[in-house]
Amino acid sequence: ALFQHAGVDGLCDSNAKGKKVLVTAAAGGVGVWLVQLASLAGLEVIGQIGSAENGEFVMELGASKTVNYKTTSLKKWTEEEGPVDIVIDLLGRKTLEDAWYCVKDAGVLISIVEPPEGRKPEQLESKNLKSLFFIMEPNGGQLAEVSKLLDEEKCKPVLDSVWSLDEYKKAFDRLDGGHARGKVVICDFAHPSPQY
């Protein structure tokens, strides 16, 4: 999403410096990676969060600012802070609708949940921006780059919780509750992989 579709040309992109990216659900399983990678690429990262604790956590991962959706809407935040170059939405619905207001002209709006055009507000003034619905595809080369960053301790995985196969309903409840910090994992403890 960040390096292929948002126009950031890797971690050494000098054009990324000074650009701003807003990541919704920044403390979630995908958000923690986007915050870290965008920060490493030199972007100014704004993380949308839902608690003061998650705000501190996201700042530790590399965000320079946060916006708490419980106290400030994205539309209101943009009126006060100004629009950003890139928004990567990880929530959809009302959050994706509000995200349209956050993007500068000639900016990029990416959603991994649903097509952004379906949530474009009717009253929104015409904007010249790229909107894209993106579904992740596994890529060995990209995973090798992330592994290198992990080995160099430039970023870290964040694990919210691990559940057995028998607890899959609880795992999905945790995930669907919207309060997981990092990844929620279901593991077959009878046949664990070597890293467990």
7 and 108 Cβ atoms separated by less than 8 Å: yes
Q: Provide the 8-state DSSP code for 118.
A: G
Structure confidence at residue 192 (pLDDT):
57
Range of the domain at 33: 1-133
User: Is residue 146 included in any domain, yes or no?
Assistant: no
Q: Give me the mean pLDDT over the 59-74 stretch.
A: 96
Q: How far apart are CA 36 and CA 9, in angstroms?
A: 15
> pLDDT of 122-181, one tens digit each?
988 878 899 999 888 888 888 898 899 999 999 999 999 999 999 999 999 998 887 889
Cα 171–Cα 175–Cα 177 angle in degrees, nearest 5: 115
SS3 158: coil
Is residue 139 in a domain? no
The predicted model gives 32-41 an average pLDDT of: 96
Quick check: is 89 in a domain? Answer: yes
pTM: 0.89
Is residue 47 in some structural domain?
Answer: yes
Helix ranges (H only) for the chain are: 31-40, 52-61, 74-81, 93-102, 140-151, 168-176
Higher pLDDT, 125 or 41: 41
Q: State what percent of residues in the chain have pLDDT above 70.
A: 96
Q: Same domain, yes or no, for 42 and 112?
A: yes
Domain of 21, CATH number, reads 3.40.50.720
* Residue 196 clears pLDDT 70, i.e. is over it: no
Task: Supply the angle between the helices 52-61 and 31-40 in degrees, to the nearest 10.
Answer: 40
- Do residues 155 and 40 lie in contact, with contact meaning Cβ atoms separated by under 8 Å? yes
Q: How far apart are the first and last CA of the chain?
A: 29
Average pLDDT of the chain to the nearest whole number: 91
